[in-house]
């Protein structure tokens, strides 16, 4: 029986990073003092962390598999958020109905449309922008940044420069009351979706042939090719899936913030980079741990000392890198 | 004498020489050739950005590292001068103190960031600098007691600089001087080592050059020059704020200028900055006319809306990275060989 493996390559789960997360959570319980406030903060942190995980998982896998860093990843997030917002508006009757099933009829198309749009853009991006510059990091950074500039402007052409309000479906507004604790409904949904995505990804990576090939590709690309598998086709699949997940994350984040601007992509990009650096470039388990860590720390510090909240992510990154220079779960590249 | 000034790195193309000469003359005589506030503003911005872009090219074009923190150093220079001039008597002492403090801070920061992240891959450095720069931008807008927050700082300048023409010549002179210094650096043995690292890091290391040290040095040099450019820009605007120095869009502008002008040539910075700043100020008017002429056709007026000028420069950027990695300068030089 293997527990959900942390690093893609290690046999046994390295227990220290999860222990660190637990220690931070418990330690902040002492500092916060009030358990109900602490629970609210923890749920908020988990929701934020898991949404960031959904957005960043594709990026870290693409890097692990093909050594490609896509600086335009934020673009898929922005596109997902915009498409999601427009779809919810289209189904506004279903979204404002006071029944969860009817609301689902608005959310499901929104999420699917966001994933489809981002996935298709990902396919196009891989073909046109990334493919000619494999193996050349400098050009990758330049070309994907350039792609981001153009696409950001195109989003402005299509949707206009104004901030777009996103209506959160009726049954997802407000909070559950448990005793004297208020838990925002939408955050629970975000946590549930994030955990589902993580579980699905772990199953796919650890229990299927495709997953085996992806893991093998991260570890040693040439060997997989030598065995006769077309790693490139696999890579296109991962790139598109990663883009679609970024679109999903963007749609969720847009509903969470209840507004969408074109800057959503660029601003999330910084957090995503921090997360995948903390996790170890290329590692899904590390990405998950990093995202949860960033989400929790941002919320705890934001409550305990708002002054340094903005720097907490950078500080966290520096501390983690001092502890483990390759990230929480380094990917053993051969 | 000219060859000495240019450190033996001649433009090597007749058209390029003519273009550079035209830009130099236009900038040198700007207050007399183009009367009015706006043209002088454009000229000063060209001077500052030539310097800023040239210092960035030292990193990107010569050393082959991508940094997203260049605006941070630009901002440190601006804030250094602004804070010193607004807190102290507006005199030369304040300017000197602010600049020196800013340069020291930039040196320390670039050294730390470089030592920390230049050991690993180029991508890692790019990501770390992006994170650090965005953190710094947030910091500057949050520490409002110190930096004026989102509003920035408006300040008085010394008596002599009250005249726009005098300030312009200060900006022009310092920019020209530092540009020649940069040209000297990239054509020195040190510059050759940087090129060697760009071309083949492994081989450079094998030849006995400590690549981390050279990269960190290049990073520090670029940061110091960017800081000085920031100080000049602040003196010209008599204002420093997040939007004029730290904004991520300025980083994008710098990237566009370097790539369109030509990576790995200092002259590319001149051409790129001149074209870009002029386009920024005058292309929008052309696009307004064009967009107006397209009224009635769906989507096209939006595509050519004056606010969308960056779209077209972005397309140009992507095409240049693919087809003309050496930019305009590289194209001009290649024509001569053919």
Do the Cβ atoms of A251 and A106 come closer than 8 Å?
A: no
**Residue B306: which residues within 8 A CB-CB, separation 6 or more?**
B284, B285, B287, B288, B291
> The complex's ipTM?
0.81
Q: What is the mean pLDDT of residues A6-24?
A: 72
Q: Which residues of B touch A310 (CB under 8 A)?
A: 135, 138-139, 142
How many CA atoms lie less than 13 Å away from B3 in the CB half-sphere?
2
Strand partners, A259: A165
Amino acid B338: pLDDT = 53
Choose between A23 and B102: higher pLDDT: B102
Among the partner-chain residues B123, B131, B303, the one whose CB lies closest to the CB of A137 is: B123
Q: Where are the domains of chain B?
A: 2-337
Collect all residues with Cβ–Cβ distance below 8 Å to B307 and sequence separation of at least 6. Answer: A156, A161, B284
Q: Show the beta-strand stretches assigned E in chain B.
A: 153-154, 239-240
Q: How far is B313 from chain A (nearest CA, A)?
A: 8
Q: Which CATH class is domain B2-337?
A: mainly alpha
Judge whether A310 lies within some domain. Answer: no
Residue A324 within any structural domain of the chain: no
User: Which chain A residues touch B253 with a CB distance below 8 Å?
Assistant: none
Contact across the interface for B130 and A266, Cβ inside 8 Å: no
Name the residue among A138, A139, A156 with its Cβ closest to that of B308: A156
Report the percent of chain A where pLDDT is more than 90.
26
User: Radius of gyration (Cα) for chain B, nearest Å?
Assistant: 20
CA distance B238 to A295: 40
Q: Which residues pair with A184 in a beta bridge?
A: A175
* Residue A73 domain boundaries: 45-262
Instruction: Provide the residue-wise pLDDT of chain B in tens; the chain has 338 residues.
Output: 777 778 777 788 888 899 999 999 999 998 888 888 888 999 999 999 999 999 999 999 999 888 999 999 999 999 999 999 998 888 889 999 999 999 999 999 999 988 877 776 778 888 889 888 988 888 888 888 888 888 889 988 888 888 889 999 999 999 999 999 999 999 999 999 999 998 888 899 999 999 889 999 999 999 999 999 999 999 999 999 888 888 888 998 899 899 989 888 899 999 999 999 988 888 777 777 777 777 767 667 777 777 777 888 888 888 888 888 888 888 888 876 55
| DSSP assignment string, A140-184 | HHHHHHHHHHHHHHHHHHHH-SSPEE-PPPGGGSSEEEETTEEEE
Residue B184 has a pLDDT of 93
What total number of domains does chain A contain? 1
**Amino acid A288: pLDDT:** 93
Query: Alpha-carbon distance B185 to B175, whole Å?
Result: 15
Q: What is residue B7's predicted lDDT score, i.e. its pLDDT?
A: 77
Distance, in Å, from the CA atom of B306 to the CA atom of B279, rounded to the nearest integer, reads 11
* A294 lies in some domain: no
Residues B58-77: tens digit of each pLDDT: 999 999 888 999 999 999 99
Dihedral angle of Cα B269, B274, B276, B281, to the nearest 10 degrees: 160
Among A50-54, A221-225, B185-189, the range scoring the smallest mean pLDDT is A221-225
Provide the shortest C-alpha distance from residue A265 to chain B (in Å): 13
pLDDT tens track for A272-294: 999 998 998 888 889 999 999 99
pLDDT in tens, A141-189: 889 988 888 888 889 888 888 888 887 877 777 777 777 777 788 888 8
């Amino acid at each position: 029986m293997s527990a959900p493996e942390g690093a893609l390559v290690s046999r046994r789960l390295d227990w220290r990073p999860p222990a660190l997360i637990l220690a931070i959570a418990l330690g902040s319980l002492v500092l916060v003092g009030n358990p109900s406030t602490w629970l609210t903060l923890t749920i908020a942190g988990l929701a934020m962390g898991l949404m960031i995980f959904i957005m960043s998982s594709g990026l870290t896998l693409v890097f692990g598999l093909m050594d490609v860093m896509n600086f335009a990843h934020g673009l898929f997030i922005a596109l997902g958020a915009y498409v999601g917002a427009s779809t919810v508006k289209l189904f506004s009757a279903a979204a404002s109905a006071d029944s969860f099933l009817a609301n689902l009829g608005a959310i499901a198309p929104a999420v699917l449309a966001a994933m489809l749009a981002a996935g298709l853009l990902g396919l196009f991006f891989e073909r046109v922008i990334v493919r000619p510059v494999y193996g050349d990091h400098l050009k990758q950074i330049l070309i994907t940044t350039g792609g981001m500039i153009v696409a950001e402007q195109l989003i402005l052409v299509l949707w206009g420069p104004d901030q777009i309000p996103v209506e959160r479906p009726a049954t997802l507004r407000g909070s559950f009351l448990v005793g004297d604790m208020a838990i925002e409904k939408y955050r629970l949904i975000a946590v549930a979706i994030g955990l589902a995505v993580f579980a699905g990804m772990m199953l796919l990576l650890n229990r299927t042939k495709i997953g085996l090939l992806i893991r093998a590709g991260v570890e040693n690309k040439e060997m997989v090719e030598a065995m006769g598998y077309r790693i490139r086709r696999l890579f296109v699949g991962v790139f598109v899936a990663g883009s679609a997940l970024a679109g999903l994350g963007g749609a969720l984040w847009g509903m969470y913030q209840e507004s969408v601007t074109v800057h959503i992509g660029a601003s999330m990009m910084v957090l995503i980079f921090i997360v995948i650096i903390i996790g170890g470039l290329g590692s899904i388990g590390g990405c998950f741990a990093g995202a949860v860590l960033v989400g929790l720390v941002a919320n705890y510090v934001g409550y305990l000392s708002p002054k340094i909240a903005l720097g907490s992510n950078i500080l966290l990154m520096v501390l983690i890198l001092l502890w483990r220079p390759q990230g929480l779960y380094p990917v053993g590249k051969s | 004498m000219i060859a000495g000034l240019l450190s033996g790195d001649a433009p090597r193309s007749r058209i390029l020489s003519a273009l550079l000469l035209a830009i130099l003359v236009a900038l040198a005589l700007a207050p007399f050739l183009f009367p009015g506030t706006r043209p002088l503003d454009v000229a000063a911005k060209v001077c500052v950005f030539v310097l800023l872009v040239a210092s960035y090219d030292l990193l990107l074009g010569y050393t082959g590292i991508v940094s997203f923190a260049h605006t941070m150093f630009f901002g440190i220079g601006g804030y250094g001068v602004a804070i010193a001039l607004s807190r102290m008597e507006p005199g030369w002492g304040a300017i000197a103190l602010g600049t020196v403090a800013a340069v020291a801070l930039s040196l320390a920061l670039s050294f730390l960031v470089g030592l920390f992240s230049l050991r690993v891959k180029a991508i890692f450095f790019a990501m770390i600098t992006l994170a650090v720069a965005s953190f710094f931008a947030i910091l500057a807008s949050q520490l409002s007691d110190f930096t004026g927050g989102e509003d920035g700082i408006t300040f008085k300048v010394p008596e002599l600089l009250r005249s726009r023409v005098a300030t312009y010549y200060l900006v022009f002179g310092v920019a020209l001087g530092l540009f020649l210094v940069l040209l000297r650096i990239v054509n020195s043995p040190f510059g050759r080592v940087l090129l060697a690292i760009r071309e083949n890091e492994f081989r450079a290391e094998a030849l006995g050059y400590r690549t981390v040290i050279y990269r960190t040095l290049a990073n520090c040099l670029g940061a110091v020059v960017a800081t000085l450019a920031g100080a000049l820009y602040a003196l010209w605007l008599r204002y420093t704020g997040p939007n004029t120095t730290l904004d991520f869009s300025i980083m994008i502008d710098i990237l566009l200028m370097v790539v369109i002008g030509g990576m790995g040539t200092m002259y590319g910075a001149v051409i790129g900055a001149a074209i870009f700043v002029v386009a920024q100020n005058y292309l929008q008017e052309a696009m307004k006319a064009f967009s107006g002429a397209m009224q009635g056709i769906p989507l096209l007026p939006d595509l050519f809306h004056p606010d969308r000028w960056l779209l077209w420069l972005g397309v140009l950027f992507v095409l240049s990275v693919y087809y003309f990695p050496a930019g305009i300068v590289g194209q001009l030089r290649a024509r001569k060989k053919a």
